[in-house]
Structures are given as structure tokens and as C-alpha cells.
Chain A
């Protein structure tokens, strides 16, 4: 399942996408993120999935643009820690 967490408002569209079919719940993203954007646990969207999965914390979903701010400077942006940490390339950002 492709899970898109985030929102669209007047300033744009801000979504972090997780491909849950490829995610094995290893938690590398949660460790790598300096803003605690990720959690690993029971799938919040798929009630019948038994294995743990990574998802974007409910606390940051509606302010993800600001939560990710530290990793997304306007110029000279380094590779994103969460995307780099994931061994299976499960995570992508829409902005």
C-alpha cells in the first residue's frame, strides 16, 4: 500500500510517502529523523496487517512542512536522513 501522509494547503502540497509493501518495520527512519517524524508499530491504516510498519506520527502529519524544515534548507540541501537511512528505499517526499 502506498501511504501518503501530509496535506495540501494554500502554500502547496506536502506529503511523505511510505510504500508499506516494501517496509519491514526496521525503524531506521525513526532513528535517523531529528524531528521524530516517524514511528514504527501497528499499521494505522491497514487493520489486517500483523507485521509492524513505519508511519508518520500523527502529531506531525498536519504540520509536516514545518517538521521537515530543518532538513530542507532553501539552498545546498543535503540528502534527507530518513530517505538515506531506509535500506529498502521505502520513503519519498513530495517537496
Chain B
């Protein structure tokens, strides 16, 4: 059985310092993406629990599966006790228990505002199958956005293809790509499919895996920067999504932009679900249904 190099690590977490039964407003946000799904449970203004899983082929059930995982180990919290749930992401129509669906662009901005603080003005979300550049104000409200979901360059899928080709676990591709003495020229193909062929050629020429990864990460950073340049860079700058965990791409991005991204203190993949849970809270407070 061949190893699944694309298999990144799923995770869940419960806040040890919170008791949901002592809190006032309990809300949830569920982000169903084409590659990953997250559920975040908020108690008043703090993250109480979250779960991050692969969506896999079971997209219609992904929402309930990730929600159930988030609810594990929560001292008796159940779905019925959550006052308001918001679904977001590509599969937001498949969140049957949500009262409302909200677009992931708005959710990412609000989630990033919570995760990185009110100074954040530019959010770059590099997700499983899309890439978003968002400008927001101090409240996390979107002022400008641009999304590219037609092209795999700059997405997790693109990186999965390379992890698989090179036989490197996706959790390690970032670190490995930095183990080069000299930065090689970036892969020239715009398309991930052709980039893969190009990489096979480089391997045949004797390039070590680190060098091929460096070339691909460099190309990815270049594509993403051109997307960002279309709406402009305004600091502070923060990255969300799975690729924020890839140091190789992040460092190359920062050096091309001449800007440091804010240091994440939370799992960067939960930004969408977190924003959805925050919207749920403000919808309750406004008395809307």
C-alpha cells in the first residue's frame, strides 16, 4: 500500500480554561471546504473547542462529522445546546444544522481579525483549492477582495501533488524546501499539471528533492504575490489556511512582498469557521434569525 504523502495531520482542541455551562452565548461555525472541514465552538468571545479534518469524499456528511469531533471531550456540550450555527465554505449548503450560510470571504476576514487582532488589514487565505486576497477594516469587515478558485497554483492541492511526486509528507515540505544553499530558479510552468512534469524532468537531471521543492515553493509564492498586488498590500498582513503552516512558502512570500506576516497564535485553518461562529454570535445579539 503506497504511503499517502498528501495526508496532513487532523486535529482537535478543547480550551482547558473555559466551562461552556458558565458562559452566556454558545455559537458554532462550520467551514466545509473541498479539501478540509473545520468546526469552531465559541463561548461568549472565546474559542471553546475546534476540530479540523479532511473533507474526503464524504462532503455531504463532512459538516456533521467535524462538528461531532469538535463536540467530543466538551463536558457534555451537545449540538442542541448550541444557540446558533453558521455554515460557510464551498460546502456550506451541506451544513443541515446551520441556521444560516455565509460566504467564506466575509468569514475569513472576521476570523482573521479575531486571530490576528484589529490591526490586520490584508488577509491572504491559501486554502485547499482556492486562494483569496482580502482587505478588511479594524472590525474585520471586508473592504476589498479577490479570489482565485480556477487555478491550483497557490493552493493546498498544488502542494499535495508535489508532496506525492517527491514522496515527502506534506507536513514536512515547508521545512525541506528551505534546506537549500542557494535558491534555485522557480518552476516556469503556470499550471500545476505542467509543473509536475517539469519537476519530474528536474529530478531526472539529478536535482535533489529539497531543490525541486524550493523551485516549486518559489513559483507558488510568485503566483500568489501577483494576486495580492492586484488589490495592494496594506499592513498588518496575516495568512490563513493550510499553507500558512508551510514555512517554505511563507518565507518566500514575505521576502517577495518585503512585509512580515503576523505570527499566528491559533491554527490557521480554522479562520473561516471561526469567522462563521463570530457571525453567529453577532446575529444572535442583533436578534436576527
Contacts and interface: CB of A to CB of B under 8 A. Distances in A.
A66 to B, nearest CB: 12
Interface residues of A, number: 17
A65 to B, nearest CB: 10
Contacts of A8: 148, 150-151, 223, 226-227
Contacts of B231: 2, 4
Contacts of A48: 141
A41 interface: no
Contacts of A62: 149-150
B142 interface: yes
A4 B149 contact: no
B69 interface: no
Interface stretch (A9-17, A24-32, A82-90): A9-17
Contacts of B191: 10
Contact of B151 (A7, A15, A45): A7
Contacts of B143: 1-2
B8 interface: no
B28 interface: no
A46 B150 contact: no
A13 B231 CA distance: 13
Given A8-B226, A47-B102, A47-B103, A3 B150 contact: no
A2 B227 CA distance: 15
A7 B103 contact: no
Contacts of B144: 1-2, 4
Contacts of B141: 1, 46, 48
A45 B148 contact: no
Contacts of A13: 226, 230
Contacts of B226: 8, 13
B145 interface: yes
A63 to B, nearest CB: 9
B105 interface: yes
A7 B150 CA distance: 6
B150 A15 contact: no
Interface string A48-73: 10000000000000100000000000
Contacts of B145: 1-4, 45
A39 to B, nearest CB: 15
Contacts of A15: 146, 230
Contacts of B103: 44-45, 47
B279 interface: yes
Nearest to B189: A10
Given A1-B142, A2-B144, A9 B150 contact: yes
A3 B103 CA distance: 13
25 contacts: A1-B142, A1-B143, A1-B145, A2-B135, A2-B143, A2-B145, A2-B231, A4-B147, A4-B230, A7-B148, A7-B150, A8-B150, A8-B223, A8-B226, A8-B227, A9-B151, A9-B190, A10-B190, A13-B226, A15-B146, A44-B103, A45-B103, A47-B103, A62-B150, A94-B230
Interface of B: 100, 102-103, 105-106, 135, 141-151, 190-191, 223, 226-227, 230-231, 279
Closest 9 CB pairs of A and B: A7-B150, A2-B144, A4-B146, A10-B190, A47-B102, A9-B151, A8-B148, A62-B150, A45-B105
Given A4-B231, A7-B148, A8-B227, 17 more contacts: A1-B142, A1-B144, A2-B135, A2-B145, A2-B231, A3-B145, A4-B144, A7-B151, A8-B148, A10-B191, A15-B146, A45-B105, A45-B145, A46-B106, A47-B102, A62-B149, A94-B230
